[in-house]
Amino acid sequence: MIVYENINRYIEQMVPERNHLLNRLEQEAEQEKIPIIQLSSIQFIRTLLLSHRPKKILEIGAAIGYSTIWLAQAAPEAKITTIEIDQERSQRALLNFKEAGICDRVELVVGDAGDGLPEELRFDCLFLDAAKGQYKNYIDLYLPQLEVGGIIICDNILFKGLVAEEHVEHKRWAPMVKKIQAFNCYLVEHPRLETSFIPIGDGLTFSVKKGE
């Protein structure tokens, strides 16, 4: 979390009440230590999607389907392809999609997002919330399939605020922080992307694909 605890609690209190399913998934994630996007971040993404109105969304990192359900609710006209590498979590996600009534709009791909998808598929929104060290590879792989004017949203790009530190004492986190720092530079320097950083939750980037 990269904002003060009291501010984050205040922001989350301002998020409208979720339905029973989303509340249950939040509880399960907390109890089982399943990484899901922070509430303040997904509410911001919901607002973006209500404005942008994407028709084809690619999500990398479904976990148990929490963020996918949010995306489906925010973009009711969109078809969503979501990729999850963990077999057990993907099965749970599928059950949750059924309960949410969104199976007709969501395609769940079980496997490694690094393997790619058929080249003919096109998207106007890409949401990354998976292995942070692979974000650059995912952008390289899927940017050609993103329409001009399409948006990219990446979660956890401020990583507990540590990306602003020159030296990270926590040995387990230091390599990941370096990868995220490199990825952030890659985003802002990419000639086809216009990127802004949003310091809520664990940090988001919002990028728009530019024309040639």
Ligand-binding annotation for 115, yes or no, is: no
Annotated binding-site residue? 113: yes
Q: Check whether 129 is labelled as a binding-site residue.
A: yes
Is 137 one of the annotated binding-site residues? no
As a whole number of angstroms, the distance between CA 21 and CA 132 comes to: 27
124 assigned to a ligand binding site: no
**What CA–CA distance (Å, rounded) separates 171 from 58?**
33
DSSP state of 146: E
Q: Is residue 130 a known part of a binding site?
A: no
Q: Is position 202 annotated in a ligand binding site?
A: no
Q: Is 155 annotated as a binding residue?
A: yes
Which residue pairs, CB below 8 angstroms and at least 24 apart, start in 23-30?
Answer: 25/64, 25/65, 25/66, 25/69, 25/96, 26/66, 28/64, 29/63, 29/64, 29/66
Q: Which residue ranges are tagged as binding site for Mg(2+)? A: 129, 155-156
Q: Which residue ranges are tagged as binding site? A: 37, 67, 84, 112-113, 129, 155-156
Q: Which residue ranges are tagged as binding site for S-adenosyl-L-methionine? A: 37, 67, 84, 112-113, 129
